[in-house]
Structure 1
Amino acid sequence: MRFAGGLSAVLLGTAIVIVQPVARALTPSEVGEIAKQITVRIDGANTGSRVIIEHQGNVYNVVTCWHVVQLKGNYTVQTPDGKKYTFNNSEVKRFSGVDLAVFQFTSNENYRVAEKGNSDQVALGTNISVAGYPQGTSDMDFRRGAISRLVTKPKDGYAFAINPQYALAYRNRGLFYSEKKDKQKAIENLQQAAKLYYSQNNNAAYQYVMNILKDLQR
């Protein structure tokens, strides 16, 4: 999938990744403001954070991960101004061979659209920012980092890896809450860890976390 000619908006699990070339030295605050303007929240059978990629007239296209909207039913997309629009799983178009899909919503409001470019040009060490809405919260999470690994044989299209400690933090926090008998917080953090491990093609860590989740959800 190819996005942003300047800033690249790339999907990662439940968040978007904004890739910033060296030639455009925006401050973290400027990048954060862009993330707020192009990121939308999806609620329904699953929740996720996705990005507006284009619009024609009053019809906006949003790209998302297929696993977020694959379950049948109605979903809502919440735009940066807090307004909500409804779409159905039957209206979603899936991309072949990758964990991506696109859907549309109609609005007379003027929303910012992510710029487009070639994600194949992203190199090791490229500065990135990760933005999204962690499951169970309406507050945006914004983090800075860099590409730590390029996957030569990506699973479901996940070709980039960021700092693996990001996933490990969620896993450790989930285990901590599990020990404290806070089941809800344990599940929320472990689910985030599982999604990140999946996106990094870390199958062993992903399966480890999924086994813990199965035990907690019994």
Structure 2
Amino acid sequence: MNFCARLSMVFLSAGIAVLQAQLVMGLTTAQIREKAAAITVRIDGPNNGSGVIVEKEGSNPICYTVLTNWHVVERQGNYIVEIRGDRYIVNSSQIRRIQGVDLAVLGFQTEYNGYPKAALGDSVPVGQSDRVYVAGWADKDGISLQRRFMFVDGSIRDVLPGPREGGYTLRYTNLTQPGMSGGPVLNDQGIVIGINGSGKYGEIGFLGIPINIFSVWDRQYGRSPCGISSSAPPPRPELTGFPKQTCGGSNPPGLQTWYPVFVNYSEQRLRQIQSRFCRDAFPNDKRDPNRTYIQVVSFQNRAIAEAFAQLMKKEFGSGEVGEAYSR
């Protein structure tokens, strides 16, 4: 059975069955918000929007799959995917559209294994007035001069009969904002049951796409989006141009989070690092009272710190990212 046929079956079954809510004790709102914040990414580029991590696979590096709306990433160019302050560049050539609905997947790679993936519902029953939550990164406006993470509660208004344009059959009362398109719709268990479409379809209410439409497509056509690339990304400037007087990022005003890179200490290794890479590398005996490390550099972006640590490991057989600190 092809995807279009499967998609029709999903719509005929109302996308997500309209049943009475299961009598299961839900999480607190604070717990659901914490889950939502951990899996929701910010997308900036030719268009702005949000997305949700739905898969992670592989190792050294790990490929993270992000699900979002097609209308968020349909324009050509580079997009920046940001989570926990870490940023990854994704070119439009690396983005896959899911035909027939307003969905797309993209991927980014990193050595970091700490981003969780969402728990996805598959034909999770929802009924009218069931509590739902929408998360995403709202665009700046007259009140806020920066994009901000928003977590909006509400309830299911109804499940529209399908098929419908873009796959939008979930309608809810959550007052979402521009920029939240592509973010997750979660139930009271913190499970993702849909993808928000936000203001694009706001004239008839706030709408989302049932997540099991993606699940059907993923079982039939899904593959790692990290393998979709017409060209290799350009090397990061932080990893080229050695030796440097200082290798770390700039120090902007205000309290910032930094990720240090350590190498096992020896006097010879310290001299080599200072000569070939970072003049300002120094011995650090505060990390562990029982041994000394070489602190080579600190970055505000964990992904760059991970990449630099891998470079050190390749060159010197040792390299790791230490515990983040603020200064």
Q: Identify whether the pair has TM-score above 0.5, normalized to the shorter chain.
A: yes
What aligned pairs does 1:38-53 form with structure 2 within 5 A after superposition?
A: 38-53=39-54
Q: How many residues align?
A: 158
TM-score (norm 2): 0.45
State how far apart, in whole Å, the 2-side matches of 1:71 and 1:21 are.
Answer: 41
1:138: Cα distance to partner?
Answer: 2.8
Partner of 2:29: 28
Is the counterpart of residue 67 in structure 1 residue 75 in structure 2? no
Partner of 1:112: 116
1:195: Cα distance to partner?
Answer: 4.6
State how far apart, in whole Å, the 1-side matches of 2:204 and 2:97 are.
Answer: 19
Cα 1:43–1:51, aligned 2, differ >3 Å: closer, same or farther? Answer: same
User: How large is the RMSD of aligned CA atoms in angstroms?
Assistant: 2.4
Please list every run of 5 or more consecutive structure 1 residues that lacks an aligned counterpart in the other structure: 1-19, 172-191, 202-218
1:119: Cα distance to partner?
Answer: 4.3
- Structure number with higher relative contact order (C-alpha < 8 Å, ≥ 6 residues apart): 1
Partner of 2:286: none
**Conserved? CA contact 1:21–1:127, under 8 Å:** no
Give the residue type in structure 1 aligned to 2:172. Answer: I
Partner of 1:180: none
Give the residue type in structure 2 aligned to 1:69. Answer: V
| SS of match in other structure, 2:161 | strand
What do residues 86-135 of structure 1 show as CA deviations (whole Å, max 9, x unaligned)? Answer: 00111111111100000000012210100122246332222111111111
Q: 2:85 aligns with which of 49, 72, 82?
A: 82
Give the residue type in structure 2 aligned to 1:122. Answer: V
State how far apart, in whole Å, the 1-side matches of 2:200 and 2:158 are.
Answer: 18
Q: 1:161 aligns with which of 158, 167, 171?
A: 171
Q: 1:143 aligns with which of 142, 146, 152?
A: 152
> Which one has the bigger helix percentage?
1
What aligned pairs does 1:167-186 form with structure 2 within 5 A after superposition?
A: none
State how far apart, in whole Å, the 1-side matches of 2:70 and 2:24 are.
Answer: 33
Q: 1:196 aligns with which of 193, 202, 227?
A: 202
**Conserved? CA contact 2:173–2:205, under 8 Å:** no
Identity %: 34
1:194: Cα distance to partner?
Answer: 4.3
| SS of match in other structure, 1:147 | strand
State how far apart, in whole Å, the 2-side matches of 1:65 and 1:106 are.
Answer: 20
Give the residue type in structure 2 aligned to 1:160. Answer: L
**Conserved? CA contact 1:158–1:200, under 8 Å:** no
Give the residue type in structure 1 aligned to 2:85. Answer: G
State how far apart, in whole Å, the 1-side matches of 2:69 and 2:94 are.
Answer: 14
Cα 1:92–1:24, aligned 2, differ >3 Å: closer, same or farther? Answer: farther
Give the residue type in structure 2 aligned to 1:45. Answer: P
Please list every run of 5 or more consecutive structure 2 residues that lacks an aligned counterpart in the other structure: 1-20, 141-145, 179-197, 208-327
Partner of 2:259: none
**Conserved? CA contact 2:139–2:148, under 8 Å:** no
Partner of 2:126: 122
State how far apart, in whole Å, the 1-side matches of 2:167 and 2:199 are.
Answer: 18
